[in-house]
């Protein structure tokens, strides 16, 4: 089967999404997600200007060869733009291969290893009362594992706190850190206040909800190794499922220090994009969960290699699943997660109603478990007329400044 056409579709129903649609001479189509939050148009250009011309006329079935060609022939390797573009091609070709085989994609990846995928949702609140309401609401929605993010006294706005953490009638939640506008929004940060406050929040949550509910927390890259070690240790009594992104982790070695001081499980990698970012932390068993998404880590072909490597060290998947991973990227994660043995947990933030009109999806969320569904291929189709109603709008993620004006990791 020959690739006849490849279109890059940008749409902004509830937020910006970049999707690659590959069409073959036999009329089969495949979709791939190439959304890079706040830098979307750079991936559009990478695909349109440099990758699409290389695809036309190629063998749609040669997934591994196409991956290797795109990775190696560019000479310039790795990086989020390159790897998101390669990911989109890879996932679109897997979608086509599964459609050609008349199978849901997970069957081609080895078949289902479980009935469904344990998902965690995002509860948050500026106050304990609001946080407790949000946790209860997530439980009512069916979530069996919950991420807890809390306001910190003295800080005006902070990552992960929805202005309204409740669910709308359609089951969607209003939280989108990337804000539309000409310039990024500034937030404030104080590590000392955060480190003092967060253990009190988890103590209160455990007292209210008991010992069994799996709880997660995201430190969002803001701590130094010794601060991360202190946080992990102070949270040990509250038995977290994981503590995420405690340090920026570009310095993989830094996690040795964190690991020496705490047994709280660590999850890292949503901004990583190749197996090389994991080389040391997997080999030295410095983490417990791989946070990469299919969308930002070179697609199913590459992320599967990362997860197979992690499996040798009993490290599991915890694939990134915020709203900036499109329904196409989410479906790819679900097929991969269903098939691999070392699945851990799947992050799940529901998309908005307009997004769900643009991307028709077959995946389900029942009793706390996600399932990709049994439609052939990925199980997601893009309604191009709907997509055309929502042109790209400039949007940026926020950034942090300390009280004295210093820029801090967001
Ligand atoms: O684009 C950035 C978001 O995806 C990120 O801030 C979300 O940290 C995140 C998470 O754990 O979902
Ligand atoms: Mg995160």
φ and ψ of 305, to 5 deg: -65, -40
Residue 26 has pLDDT above 80, yes or no: yes
The answer to whether 138 is a known catalytic residue is no
CB 50 within 8 A of CB 31: no
Q: For residue 17, how far is its CA from the centre of ligand 1 (angstroms)? A: 15
Q: Is the dihedral of CA 387, 390, 393, 396 positive or negative?
A: negative
User: Among 147, 320, 325, which is best to mutate for testing ligand 1, by the most ligand atoms less than 8 A from CB?
Assistant: 320
Distances (CA, A) of 298 to 67, 128, 327, 376: 8, 39, 17, 22
Residue 171 has pLDDT above 70, yes or no: no
Average pLDDT, the chain: 96
Domains of the chain: 3-104 (3.30.390.10), 117-376 (3.20.20.120)
pLDDT digit string (tens) for 101-149?
999 999 999 999 999 999 999 999 999 999 999 999 999 999 999 999 9
- C-beta 318 within 6 A of ligand 1: no
Count other Cβ atoms within 10 Å, centred on residue 405: 6
CB 292 within 8 A of CB 276: no
pLDDT digit string (tens) for 351-388?
999 999 999 999 999 999 999 999 999 999 999 999 99
pLDDT digit string (tens) for 172-201?
556 788 999 999 999 999 999 999 999 999
The answer to whether 220 is a known catalytic residue is yes
**Distance separating alpha carbons of residues 136 and 120, to the nearest angstrom:** 13
**Distance separating alpha carbons of residues 291 and 268, to the nearest angstrom:** 5
Residue 215 has pLDDT above 70, yes or no: yes
Could you tell me the two tokens for 74?
Answer: 């560019």
**Distance separating alpha carbons of residues 310 and 113, to the nearest angstrom:** 17
**Distance separating alpha carbons of residues 203 and 290, to the nearest angstrom:** 27
Q: What is the pLDDT of residue 277?
A: 97
Count other Cβ atoms within 10 Å, centred on residue 4: 15
- Closest among 408, 371, 246, 381 to 326, alpha carbons compared: 381
DSSP class of residue 352 equals: P
| Catalytic residue of the set 220, 296, 335, 351 | 220
If residue 343 lies in a helix (H) or strand (E), which one and from where to where? none
Q: For residue 87, how far is its CA from the centre of ligand 1 (angstroms)? A: 18
Site of tokens 């926020």: 398
Maximum pairwise Cα distance, the chain: 62
The CA angle 79-336-35, to the nearest 5 degrees, is 40
Q: What is the pLDDT of residue 168?
A: 56
In 3-state terms, what secondary structure has residue 298?
coil
Question: Which residue has a Cα nearest atom 10 of ligand 1?
Answer: 322
Q: What is the pLDDT of residue 172?
A: 52
User: Among 270, 296, 326, 399, which is best to mutate for testing ligand 1, by the most ligand atoms less than 8 A from CB?
Assistant: 270
Site of tokens 């060869």: 65
This prediction's pTM:
0.97
Count other Cβ atoms within 10 Å, centred on residue 21: 21
């Amino acid at each position: 089967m020959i690739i006849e056409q490849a279109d890059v579709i940008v749409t902004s129903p509830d937020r910006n999404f970049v999707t690659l649609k590959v069409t073959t001479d036999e009329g089969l189509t495949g979709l791939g997600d190439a959304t890079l939050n706040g830098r979307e148009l750079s991936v559009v250009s990478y695909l349109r200007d440099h990758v699409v011309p290389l695809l036309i006329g190629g063998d749609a079935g040669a997934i591994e060869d196409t991956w290797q060609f795109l990775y190696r022939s560019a000479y310039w390797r790795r990086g989020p733009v390159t790897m998101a573009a390669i990911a989109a091609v890879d996932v679109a070709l897997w979608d086509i291969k599964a459609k050609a085989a008349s199978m849901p994609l997970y069957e081609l990846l080895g078949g289902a290893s479980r009935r469904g995928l344990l998902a965690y949702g995002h509860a948050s609140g500026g106050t304990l009362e609001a946080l407790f309401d949000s946790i209860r609401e997530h439980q009512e929605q069916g979530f069996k594992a919950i991420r807890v993010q809390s306001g910190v006294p003295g800080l005006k706005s902070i990552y992960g706190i929805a202005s309204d953490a409740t669910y709308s009638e359609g089951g969607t939640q209003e939280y989108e850190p990337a804000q539309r506008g000409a310039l990024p929004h500034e937030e404030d940060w104080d590590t000392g206040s955060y480190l003092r406050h967060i253990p009190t929040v988890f103590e209160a949550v455990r007292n209210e909800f008991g010992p069994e509910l799996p709880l997660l927390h995201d430190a969002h890259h803001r701590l130094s190794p010794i601060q991360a070690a202190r946080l992990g240790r102070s949270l040990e009594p509250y038995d977290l499922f994981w503590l995420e992104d405690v340090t920026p982790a570009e310095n993989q070695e830094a996690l040795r220090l964190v690991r020496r001081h705490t047994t709280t499980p660590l999850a890292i990698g949503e901004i990583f994009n190749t197996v090389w970012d994991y080389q040391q932390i997997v080999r030295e068993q410095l983490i417990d969960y791989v946070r990469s998404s299919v969308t930002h880590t070179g697609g199913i072909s590459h992320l599967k290699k990362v997860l197979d490597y992690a499996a040798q060290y009993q490290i599991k998947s915890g694939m990134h699943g915020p709203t900036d991973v499109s329904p196409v990227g989410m479906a790819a994660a679900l097929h991969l997660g269903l098939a691999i043995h070392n699945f851990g947990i799947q992050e799940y933030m529901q998309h908005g109603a307009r997004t769900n009109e643009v991307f028709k999806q077959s995946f389900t969320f029942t009793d706390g478990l996600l399932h990709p569904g049994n439609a052939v291929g990925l199980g997601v189709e893009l309604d191009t007329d709907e997509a055309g109603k929502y042109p790209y709008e400039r949007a940026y993620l926020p950034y942090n400044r300390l009280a004295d004006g210093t820029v801090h990791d967001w």
